[in-house]
Structure 1
Amino acid sequence: MAPKISTSSRVIRAEAIDPTVFAPFGEVIQNPATHGGVPNLQKIDANQGSATKWMNVTSMRNWYGSAQSRKPAEIATNMFVCKPRQLDSRNGKDVFVVKILERHPYTPQTFVPLGVERSANTCYLVVVAPTMPTPSRRSSNEGLEPAYPLPEPRQKRTLRERLLGSRPNPFTNDFAPSTTPNPSALSGPKPKGVGLPDLEKLHAFIVRGDQGITYGAGTWHAPMVVLGEKAIDFVVVQYMNGVALDDCQEVEVETEGDGLAVDVGNLFEQGMARARL
């Protein structure tokens, strides 16, 4: 059973997704040649000059080494066939009511839509929230049940360990693998921490069918919300180890009144206008 978190009843406005604005929550995957460019992406010619290869369009780092279970994770590639969501009407506006938020604390999660024309009357809604400051261990994550696991406190290294560093001890059989970090393994933003979602700073973005997104590790987000006329097939890539609270954590959103909702506006006006450019 997911813990509950309370917030005020209100409506926030969705906006067309922008890589810079979305950056605190993850990355937008799109063709820089047709979407005004993406900062810091490099390109090369490929396939005997018949293709342009954009380098490292998103970051996929495995953070499961920080999980309490210590169970290794493997890359998982799944498909989600997401049907259009039913919208509510509030003061003449079409709104989506946010009832669940989830996060994947030790892995990014990438969504790549398939077969959606950029001019089609179909898009999807991404709802994200920043993470509140980490609660103390004594607070047991503010008393919510089940309390989410907090990382184990790091023990201070002894003087001997600091002097030896990552080198094996020549006087014992302790030839453990080097602990020197691999620079290639340090790419990608760090997880967001173990705090709860800050619902006062909820953001919502409308994303076109020719754009993919990656949620950063630990980013609180709503389950995928498809808007429009037809389902969208998403290829979803992430790390998983099969431990429920390592792979996915959820909270239920409680409010008094009409609930916490997102005004999706006019789909053509917000999500499709750029597709006609």
Structure 2
Amino acid sequence: MTITLKLETLTAEAFAPFGDVIEASDTVQHFTINEGNTERYHDLAKIEPGQDGQAIVSIFRGQPRSLPFTVEMMERHPKGSQAFIPQSGQPYLVIVAPAGPTPKAAELRLFLARGDQGVNYATGVWHHPLMALNQVADFIVIDRKGPGDNCDVIQLEEKAIIAELETTTA
């Protein structure tokens, strides 16, 4: 059997079980700095490099995915968080499942992120690799460098499909 994923709008509340939404919004703490020239949107994500790790910054360049798309695998980073901040201004897809044992297809959540929203996957949260849409897209990625294996990859027993990009609210 194949599960069809329903697309949800990415909001901080809906994404909270999986990590943080990184965005400049009136709903987050913000204040003026630099003699009134800059608005600082403060403390948007908890970066967790884990024991003996350090936070590093990379750029990931994602190739666009075509729909319909079959989700066959997921990954997680058991030793640290992983943040994705889009640089191309393009929407992208986020597929997640709760931290813990291998997820079932029915546990997957699908979010549409705007081109000005980043996500920070909390330590151990299952997620699909980068899902750029429409065109090649660059992302600043903040994640962990350090000893030990920090990427678990699993194949789903049941597949999930992304058929279309019509959003629903959760």
Could you state the TM-score of these two structures normalised by the residue count of structure 2?
Answer: 0.90
User: 1:209 Cα deviation (Å)?
Assistant: 0.7
Please list the CA deviations of residues 182-228 of structure 1 after superposition, one character each: whole Å capped at 9, or x if unmatched: xxxxxxxxxxxxx2224322100011111111101110000011112
Q: Which residue of 1 aligns with 2:39?
A: 52
Within the alignment, does 1:104 sit opposite 2:104 as a pair? no
Structure with larger Rg: 1
Could you tell me how far apart the structure 1 residues matched to 2:15 and 2:163 are?
A: 18
Unmatched runs of 5 consecutive residues or more in structure 2? none
User: 1:9 Cα deviation (Å)?
Assistant: 1.5
Q: Which residue of 2 aligns with 1:189?
A: none
Which ranges of 4 or more aligned residues in structure 1 deviate by more than 4 Å? none
Q: Quick one: which of 66, 76, 79 aligns to 1:86?
A: 66
Q: Quick one: which of 55, 65, 79 aligns to 1:75?
A: 55
SS in 2 for 1:98: strand
Q: Which residue of 2 aligns with 1:18?
A: 11
Could you tell me how far apart the structure 1 residues matched to 2:162 and 2:83 are?
A: 22
Q: Quick one: which of 137, 140, 146 aligns to 1:232?
A: 137
Q: Which residue of 2 aligns with 1:275?
A: none
- Compare the two structures and name the one with the higher strand fraction: 2
Could you tell me how far apart the structure 1 residues matched to 2:164 and 2:141 are?
A: 24
SS in 2 for 1:99: strand
Unmatched runs of 5 consecutive residues or more in structure 1? 1-7, 65-71, 88-94, 117-121, 133-194, 271-277
Q: Which residue of 2 aligns with 1:220?
A: 126
- Compare the two structures and name the one with the higher helix fraction: 1
Distance verdict in 2 for CA 1:264–1:216, change over 3 Å? farther
SS in 1 for 2:93: strand
Could you tell me how far apart the structure 1 residues matched to 2:92 and 2:62 are?
A: 10
Q: Which residue of 2 aligns with 1:151?
A: none
Please list the CA deviations of residues 2-24 of structure 1 after superposition, one character each: whole Å capped at 9, or x if unmatched: xxxxxx41212111211101100
Q: Which structure has more RCO (C-alpha within 8 Å, separation ≥ 6)?
A: 1
Q: Which residue of 1 aligns with 2:151?
A: 248
User: 1:242 Cα deviation (Å)?
Assistant: 4.6
Could you tell me how far apart the structure 1 residues matched to 2:125 and 2:96 are?
A: 7
Q: Which residue of 2 aligns with 1:43?
A: 30
Q: CA RMSD in A?
A: 1.7
CA contact (8 A) 2:103 2:156 kept: no
1:240 maps to amino acid: K
CA contact (8 A) 1:131 1:198 kept: no
Could you tell me how far apart the structure 1 residues matched to 2:58 and 2:82 are?
A: 11
1:79 maps to amino acid: I
CA contact (8 A) 1:102 1:249 kept: yes
Q: Quick one: which of 19, 22, 41 aligns to 1:29?
A: 22
Could you state the TM-score of these two structures normalised by the residue count of structure 1?
Answer: 0.57
